[in-house]
């Protein structure tokens, strides 16, 4: 099946609309979202409605859980915590009802899905090869997808070096990894992979364009996509609210 993978939309409606238009042109079978539909941005209800309509599957992320009061915001940055409070005060009850039904992981498919990481689906940022190797060792499928860091990247380990699930992780067995710019194609036919599509609504890898990943689970290929969107619209929507202004400015630099 050909899939479109989205993550970390963060209430950025112009970015989500641009990504969905790009996905429409790609003719994929299903859309999967790895969580954090809300938080940071100014249009949580509009984004949640679109995700509900368009996505075949959606995980819950740490910002979604914080808005639901199911995660303490003490570990959040001040701006992130302010956005959680603003979203709690302004979101429609139907938005919260949708998010409340979601899980942070799905290990029931050919591809395992986690909002953050295989060993901590809610909170761990996977950015380094030795850390990725420990995650790859315990992931529930040969190919796994994660979001959360807002950085488009991938890690791979040779299949024959995989410790069995019940065995101790071989700590010196580092995974190879790299950030993945627009157009990067991966041949996933061999090895064990941990893949982050990047963020739709708040990229942090220096490329401000909205990110999504095309994944073909028949040919086992993946392609990274980036889409221009009207950042001015997303920034203006934030500036019209009580959300911290910094959340608008960071969109222009992709950080």
Q: Which residues bind Zn ion (CB under 5 A)?
A: 8, 36
How far is the first Cα of the chain from the last one, in angstroms, to the nearest whole number?
33
CA distances from 114 to 35, 43, 58, 220 (A): 9, 24, 10, 19
CB nearer to Zn ion: pick between 157 and 180 = 180
Query: Kind of pairing, strands 105-106 and 2-6?
Result: unpaired
Output the smallest distance, CB 70 to Zn ion, in A.
Answer: 16
CA distances from 62 to 94, 114, 122 (A): 19, 11, 6
What residues have CB less than 8 Å from 235, skipping those under 6 apart? 248, 249, 251, 252
What residues have CB less than 8 Å from 83, skipping those under 6 apart? 39, 40, 41, 63, 243, 244, 247
Output the smallest distance, CB 161 to Zn ion, in A.
Answer: 31
Q: Residues of 189-203 as b/e, b for ≥16 C-beta within 10 angstroms?
A: eebbbbbbbbbbbbb
CB nearer to Zn ion: pick between 61 and 191 = 61
Output the smallest distance, CB 197 to Zn ion, in A.
Answer: 12
CB nearer to Zn ion: pick between 80 and 215 = 80
| Helices and strands: H and E segment counts in the chain | 8, 12
Output the smallest distance, CB 63 to Zn ion, in A.
Answer: 6
Output the smallest distance, CB 61 to Zn ion, in A.
Answer: 5
Output the smallest distance, CB 231 to Zn ion, in A.
Answer: 18
Output the smallest distance, CB 255 to Zn ion, in A.
Answer: 14
Across the strands, what pairs with 72?
none
Residue least distant from Zn ion (Cβ): 36
What residues have CB less than 8 Å from 248, skipping those under 6 apart? 234, 235, 236, 238, 239
CB nearer to Zn ion: pick between 80 and 157 = 80
Crossing angle, helix 13-26 and helix 44-54, to 10 degrees?
20
């Amino acid at each position: 099946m050909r899939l479109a993978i989205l993550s970390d939309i963060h209430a950025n409606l112009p970015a989500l609309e641009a990504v969905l238009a790009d996905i429409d042109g790609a003719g994929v079978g299903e859309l999967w979202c790895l969580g954090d539909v809300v938080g940071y941005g100014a249009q949580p209800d509009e984004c949640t409605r679109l995700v509900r309509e368009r996505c075949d599957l959606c995980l819950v992320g740490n910002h979604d859980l914080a808005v639901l009061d199911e995660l303490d915001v003490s570990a959040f940055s001040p701006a992130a915590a302010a956005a959680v409070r603003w979203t709690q005060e302004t979101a429609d009850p139907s938005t919260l009802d949708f998010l409340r039904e979601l899980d942070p992981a799905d290990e029931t498919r050919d591809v395992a899905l986690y909002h953050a990481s295989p060993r901590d689906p809610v909170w761990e940022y996977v950015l380094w090869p030795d850390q990725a190797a420990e995650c790859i060792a315990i992931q529930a499928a040969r190919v796994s997808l994660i979001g959360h860091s807002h950085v488009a990247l991938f890690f791979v380990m040779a299949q024959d070096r995989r410790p069995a699930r019940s065995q101790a992780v071989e700590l010196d067995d580092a995974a190879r990894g790299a950030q993945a710019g627009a157009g990067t194609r991966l041949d996933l036919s061999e090895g064990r992979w941990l893949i982050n599509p990047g963020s739709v609504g708040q990229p942090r890898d220096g490329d401000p364009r909205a990110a999504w990943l095309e994944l073909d689970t028949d040919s086992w290929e993946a392609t990274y996509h980036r889409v221009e969107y009207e950042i001015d619209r997303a920034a203006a929507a934030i500036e019209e609210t009580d959300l911290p202004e910094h959340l608008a400015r960071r969109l222009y630099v992709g950080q």
